[in-house]
Amino acid sequence: MPSREMKQSVENGLVIAAELAAGQADASAKPKVIATRKRCEADGVGLSHYILMDRKAGK
Amino acid sequence: MNAVSHNLTAPSAGRYANLGVGPTLLPFDIGHADYMALSEPETAFWALVRKDQLAATLADGPLMRSYREKAADFARELHALRFELKPSAVYVNPTERCNLNCTYCYIPEGMRRSGQHMAADKLIAALERLKVYFGTVVPEGKKPRIIFHGAEPLMNRGALFAAIDAFKDDFVFGVQTNATLLDDEVIAFLADRQVSIGLSLDGPLAETTDATRLTFGGKSVHGKVLRAMDALRGYASWSVIATCTEKNLDQLVPLVDLFHAREVPTCMLNAVRCTLPGARTVRPDDEALARGFIAALERTHELFRQTGRKMVVANFANILLAILAPTARRLMCDISPCGGGRAFFALAPDGGMFPCSEFIGLDEFRGGNLFTDRIEDVLESPAFRTVTERNVDRIVPCKGCAIRHFCGSPCPAEAHEMNGGMERVGAFCGFYEEQTRYAFRLIADGKADDFLWDGWDAKEGGVESSFEFALP
């Protein structure tokens, strides 16, 4: 049975399958808190008109 | 109030969230059945907290203690990313001309119809100057990037090819093209030299593409782009950009079906940039854009599950990365200051230097000329500093927003031209809210990696964990 919050999400048109699937799982079995962070050398140079694909090219 | 600059002169200083000099932990709804998010915006730290645990988590418990140990590191990392980068790429427009008259182009029509080409010898001279400059700022062993951009760079194909061959050992090259001139000969040349190729297509059917992308004579180019995509199938380094407008929102799901069927490795589904008035005529509503965009993302996930082949939507992947690993961003629009004028800059055919391609039609943002000015001086010019000093921490309402460093309030060109100034919010605030909430839902459900490049966090790629916290 969907929760009230989920019904509200359906009403505003932004519900997604992930929300529904998440709602069906047993909440108490999920971690109480999740927090992660990774780091690396920053070298991003893309912009919204272009994404550089660095993978080795081959054809 | 923050945990970074706190001064432990009192026994409780910094101990409690949202008090005194303690961390600012802002809770916000992500639309998930079980989790809410907490964010410390100043360091881009976040946690997903089960709804029944929110009060306990905000108390002085294990999460707070773990975060306090890392807060200064995270603040330094974010500061370096936002303020200490040096340019390592240039978007080079080798011509002002284009053979298309797209509704939303950020290059003025007069330039595209009858503008100038950059002669081959001038283009080579430009790249020589850039090579010398990058030798002073790019670490040894790393190659700077040159991306030929437009207008349509292949309208000046001779100069382009000459430049790529002259500097093939000095730069990593890319080309963004409308694909109408991308014949077998051009593809062979670029593929042999491992040049990254980006195309543009806005719809699964000609009638959708034709709504925004036609020749000056009104002819469709949809079929030509599809032929180029077929010819590129199997090449590792290509991508397709779809510009999301009110004309194609209902076609984004079939569009990603088309991309996936044609084995596009990476695509972008970009909200139209509203810098020039023409683009604003097809500007989508934020909520409708979010709905169509998320539906398309969900479809890419279904296709991945069905076929085992992933097609990354790079602009969304970048939002995920901004959350999971801020320094691993590939795109530098969704950060403040943006990458324009600091991680990269743009070069016009007359040698004019601009913070980003988006500004090439706006002469007040011309910071200098590559052939007559020192690059270092241009980077510090008032025109560039107007962009590089645009700071989301000073923008209303962004400065109080929990996700401001996952979004960056893009884009300065739109803020300036459409919203009235650099200190104004960007163009698609509501769309960024929904993207970010969706990204957090995926993280909560353990699905984020399905939307990112394979191996994005590999240790051999230099990525390491700096915080790992799960409270069972």
Tokens standing for B286? 């934020």
- As averages over each run of 10 residues, the pLDDT of chain A (59 residues) reads 44 43 63 96 82 54
Q: Which of A4-8, B10-14, B29-33, B163-167 has the lowest mean pLDDT?
A: A4-8
Contact residues on chain A for B149, CB-CB shorter than 8 A: 49-50
Give the DSSP per-residue string, B149-215.
Answer: -SS-GGGGHHHHHHHHHHTTTT-EEEEE--STT--HHHHHHHHHTT-EEEEE---SSHHHHTTT-BB
Q: Which of A7, A9, A26, A39 is most worth mutating to test chain B (most B CB atoms within 10 A of its CB)?
A: A39
Identify the residue whose tokens are 């230097």: B353
pLDDT band at B14, cuts 50/70/90? confident
Amino acid letter for position B176: Q
| Contact status, residue B299 vs residue B269, Cβ threshold 8 Å | no
By C-alpha distance, the chain A residue nearest B89 is A45
pTM exceeding 0.90: yes
Q: What per-residue confidence (pLDDT) applies to B227? A: 98
- Cβ-based burial of B165 (10 A; exposed 0-12, middle 13-18, buried ≥19): exposed
For chain A, the farthest-separated pair of C-alpha atoms sits apart, in whole angstroms, at: 53
ipTM of the complex: 0.92
pLDDT band at B454, cuts 50/70/90? very high
Name which of A31, A46, A59 is nearest B472 (Cβ-Cβ): A31
Name which of B50, B356, B466 is nearest A38 (Cβ-Cβ): B466
Q: Is the pLDDT of residue B15 over 70?
A: yes
Q: Does A33 contact B462 at a Cβ distance shorter than 8 Å?
A: no
Contact residues on chain B for A30, CB-CB shorter than 8 A: 34-35, 50
Contact residues on chain B for A56, CB-CB shorter than 8 A: 194, 236-237
Q: Is the pLDDT of residue B139 over 80?
A: yes
Put simply, whether A4 touches B (Cβ < 8 Å) is no
By C-alpha distance, the chain B residue nearest A9 is B31
Each residue of B47-97: pLDDT tens digit? 999 999 999 999 888 999 999 999 999 999 999 999 999 999 999 999 999
Residues 24-43, chain A, touching B (beta carbon < 8 A): 25, 27, 30-43
Q: Is the pLDDT of residue B190 over 70?
A: yes
Say how far apart CA B5 and CA B121 lie, in whole Å. Answer: 53
Chain A to chain B Cβ contacts (< 8 Å): 236
Contact residues on chain B for A40, CB-CB shorter than 8 A: 325, 327-328, 461-464
Q: Which residues contact A11 (CB under 8 A, 6 or more apart)?
A: none
- The mean per-residue pLDDT over the stretch B331-357 comes to 97
Q: What per-residue confidence (pLDDT) applies to B153? A: 97
Q: Does B63 contact A33 at a Cβ distance shorter than 8 Å?
A: yes
